[in-house]
Chain A
Amino acid sequence: MSVMKRLSGILQAKANKALDRAENPADMLDLSYEKQVENLQKVRRAIADVATAKKRLELQATQLQAQAQKLQDQAKQALAQGNEDLAREALSRRATLADQLQGLGTQHQQVETQLQQLETTATRLQTQVDAFRTKKETLKASYTASKAQASIGEAVSGISESMSDAGMTLDRAQEKIAQMQARAGAVDELIDTGALPDVLGGGGDDIQKQLDAASQSGQVDAELAALKAQMGAGGGGLPAGGAAPEGGGDAGAGEGGAS
């Protein structure tokens, strides 16, 4: 059966249910108006929540991007040190980050749509609430006439349907926010547990440790060689045995100086 007809039926049912409590037309108008104002506030709160969630996603994306760049640099550094295994490890971690980033990108797009829908809802709701308030007073002033009773019914059903739509839009947004928060929490956890290196901390970054150790030992080798050469050239008491410096010492010193 038609999705559009079924959905419309659900919308009307929700709208009617919301009006069940009112006993006379004047009460119905006031009750409906109160609900509208309340709903409008809920929509505005949801907009703030979605905006916060969006900021969090953006922050995480920036963080992950920085980490991906760092791993790329580390891979290069490892290759320069001739450590291909470490370079491979860095690149494979970078691939994991790329997956996460893609997921965040998709979510960001969804959040953007949510935000737009909620903002449209809020704007239209505000206009409707204003229109309804004016109409409500006119209708109340003349509601004893049977014709006016019918108009009240129409006006109330119309606004009530829009309220149900706003309610559904709100539910959907809240569900998305919950999903987003769960995902953001998972990414944070991934960063915390060291499955991904922490870009700020450095303490848990084992790739960096290996790189630093390699370049440090390269630097020590270079200094040792320089010292030996100096003492050999000075013609001192000590024999300059093994004056030939260890290979790769210069490159190591260069890398060490950059960190």
Chain B
Amino acid sequence: MIVRILGEGRYEVPEGDLPAIEQLDATLVDAMERGDEAAFSGTLADLIGQVRHTGTLLPADDLRTSELAVPHEGSTLAEVRALLAEEG
């Protein structure tokens, strides 16, 4: 599956490594709901690290689209909330 890290690029992540990423995603949601800034930034850093570690960076001239997107490295809780608010 192709995962994009905003501001960085797209990674091809093997299906077998997705559960660990989804788990971190769930922890991130939890931290957001609790408004726990420290847990949020720690989990986001872990999530980005996991995608980089298990995935393979796609060359820039590969024009395929991604299916999942991770917020920018170093994003704050408020920034991500604002990004997600654009949904509606």
Contacts and interface: CB of A to CB of B under 8 A. Distances in A.
Interface of A: 1-13, 15, 110, 113, 117-118, 120-121, 123-125, 127-128, 130-132, 135, 154-155, 157-159, 161, 165, 168-169, 172, 175
Interface of B: 3-4, 6-9, 21-22, 25-26, 28-29, 32, 59-75, 79-80, 83-84, 86-87
Nearest to A169: B7
A8 B22 contact: no
B84 A7 contact: yes
A245 B56 CA distance: 83
7 contacts: A2-B68, A10-B84, A123-B60, A127-B60, A130-B61, A155-B63, A161-B65
Given A12-B65, A127-B61, A2 B84 contact: no
A80 B21 CA distance: 62
A3 B71 contact: yes
Given A117-B7, A120-B7, A8 B72 contact: no
Contact of B29 (A3, A15, A113): A3
A121 to B, nearest CB: 6
A158 B63 CA distance: 5
Contacts of A5: 68
A117 B75 CA distance: 12
Contact of B68 (A8, A117, A159, A168): A8
